[in-house]
Structure 1
């Protein structure tokens, strides 16, 4: 069965519809012009070398060629042989808090950058596992589904920040629920979450979601970022500390108690992020205790592309269109 690698490119087929509308408009213009001349015999004499049929054929060929070029760009392909996978691992969802409180500088350079460092180390050290990523603030957003493509994960990680989400807040419960949907619901093991946050806003729903996930075999590990003393939040848009509606400087503190509780209920481990290397080692050791499974990923599947056949057909149609003249032979 054929599948398309770049299915979003089919939006370009709208251009075919636009050109078809222009073609119809040209036909109407030709008819109106002919009627304005008035004398049908004169019109026939003036246009006797013009072939409406050939004009129609040329237009159809050009439109078909354009549609085929769009299909070729979408790359129709078939799934081929699957390479043997000689590795075992677990499915790990990285949940990163990207709210503005993560810009606090109570740990240097700031909470967000330190979180990125940890996530980057985990991606490198969990190369034999599948990793997915979710950013959250006022809402949770799936950034990358589970995959073994570490290079893609690194690219997504570069964009983690408050600008990546439209609303602010700390909805840990929503992020955890979204992570749960990313796992195979039929499995009762091989699944883990690593939640990186300052836990600033208390989310009453988070504990309930953790209990539900733990009952399905998901291990919840949490990482606390920040300090108990807290810090102000630098806002680059005003080049000053963030203030509330009353004009008071906002101070954000690490909610370590909530993160510890989530890890305990989720059968995982809580880690305070002071050194990214040691934190990554603790999490890796915790994940090593999960039973491993054979992993099959799209990266190990060979695909046979057929775009060149479609493109060749499109070029043949374009050549045919070029060699067809709109004029017809007229007997003297």
Structure 2
């Protein structure tokens, strides 16, 4: 009954300081609690005090306990059950378009560009509880990994399953990846629609021109943040596949079409970022997270359960017990 108790008026606990004063006063006055009869000598009386006279302080203890419970009750002990409900007043639909071409296995980020992107993207997803998120992957062609959904578990599971394979034609079809992401968002009713397009190369595949895809994004009111991934200079990247299926790595010059990515971002009202290492990539997603904030209104409901009533009843019972004992068993001694 008294677990998770809070007190509405804890200032009343200062009254407990009166209890030591009351105890001291009682012991100072204890010999004057009964009537006195003065005689010249008590030699003719045999001293044989009864047990009831020794139990007389019980009445004071009962009164003291009653006073204690009353003070605690005045402090208004209670428990509170808090329930919350959130309401997103500005929903944002986000599609993350991730390049999964072979060059994303380059090791200039730790352990490689693709795994570093997945780790940072997962943190980004965890920080967007009020938004719907979808995933698009692309290399020489593109497809939707996950349509926009509010189920973050599904999105994170799909993100974890992203890996380089030979299912998609090799290459970097930035236009196709962007167009697929636009297609996922064009019918969205969200107040804000955002694409985060990540690549580490230049547009060299696909049937859709990146500028055409960018125009589609503008037409549907979609903002595009572009991220170029890769260090400056040379990077240890895949150069061939050996007969046993293993990928052979070699130093390859990092080439990112920053001009194209900057134009896409500028035309759609977004921003271009360059991630040259893991820390920079994390900072980029954090900045995008701050730029695209969702207004979430939280409602809290408090259900208070007052606990002072049992204390008042206990105090009343103690006072009643003291009165009954005073006028019955201890009547001859008080």
- Normalising by the smaller structure, the TM-score range is 0.5 to 0.7
Higher relative helix content: 1
Secondary structure of the structure 2 residue equivalent to 1:116: helix
1:183-222 map, 5 Å: 183-185=185-187, 187=189, 189-202=191-204, 205-222=209-226
Secondary structure of the structure 1 residue equivalent to 2:209: helix
Instruction: Note if contact 1:230-1:252 (Cα within 8 Å) is conserved in structure 2.
Output: yes
Higher relative strand content: 2
Aligned mates of 1:279, 1:149 — CA distance in 2: 24
Instruction: Compare CA radii of gyration and give the structure with the larger one.
Output: 2
**Deviations 1:54-94 (Å, cap 9, x if unpaired)?**
xxxxxxxxxxxxxxxxxxxxxxxxxxxxxx87224210000
Q: 2:159 corresponds to which residue?
A: 157
Q: Name the count of aligned residue pairs.
A: 203
Alpha-carbon distance, 1:166 to partner: 2.7
**Deviations 1:3-26 (Å, cap 9, x if unpaired)?**
xxxxxxxxxxxxxxxxxxxxxxxx
Aligned mates of 1:157, 1:202 — CA distance in 2: 25
**Deviations 1:187-233 (Å, cap 9, x if unpaired)?**
58421100111133357811221122112210000111102313242
Aligned mates of 2:164, 2:214 — CA distance in 1: 25
Give the unaligned 5+ runs of structure 1: 1-83, 243-248, 295-332
C-alpha distance 187-224 of structure 1, shift in aligned 2 (>3 A): same
RMSD after superposition: 2.7
Q: 2:248 corresponds to which residue?
A: 240
Aligned mates of 1:192, 1:240 — CA distance in 2: 37
Secondary structure of the structure 2 residue equivalent to 1:132: strand
Alpha-carbon distance, 1:157 to partner: 0.9
Aligned mates of 1:175, 1:268 — CA distance in 2: 17
Instruction: Note if contact 2:86-2:296 (Cα within 8 Å) is conserved in structure 1.
Output: no
Q: 1:126 corresponds to which residue?
A: 128
Q: Structure 1 residue 256 and structure 2 residue 264: aligned?
A: no
Alpha-carbon distance, 1:185 to partner: 3.0
Alpha-carbon distance, 1:255 to partner: 2.9
Instruction: Note if contact 1:104-1:252 (Cα within 8 Å) is conserved in structure 2.
Output: no
Secondary structure of the structure 2 residue equivalent to 1:254: coil
Alpha-carbon distance, 1:253 to partner: 2.5
Q: 2:283 corresponds to which residue?
A: 278
1:44-193 map, 5 Å: 86-88=87-89, 89-163=91-165, 165-185=167-187, 187=189, 189-193=191-195
C-alpha distance 188-150 of structure 1, shift in aligned 2 (>3 A): closer
> Which of the numbers 230, 233, 243 marks the counterpart of 1:229?
233
Give the unaligned 5+ runs of structure 2: 1-84, 298-334
C-alpha distance 105-142 of structure 1, shift in aligned 2 (>3 A): same
Aligned mates of 2:247, 2:93 — CA distance in 1: 41
C-alpha distance 202-157 of structure 1, shift in aligned 2 (>3 A): same
Secondary structure of the structure 2 residue equivalent to 1:233: strand
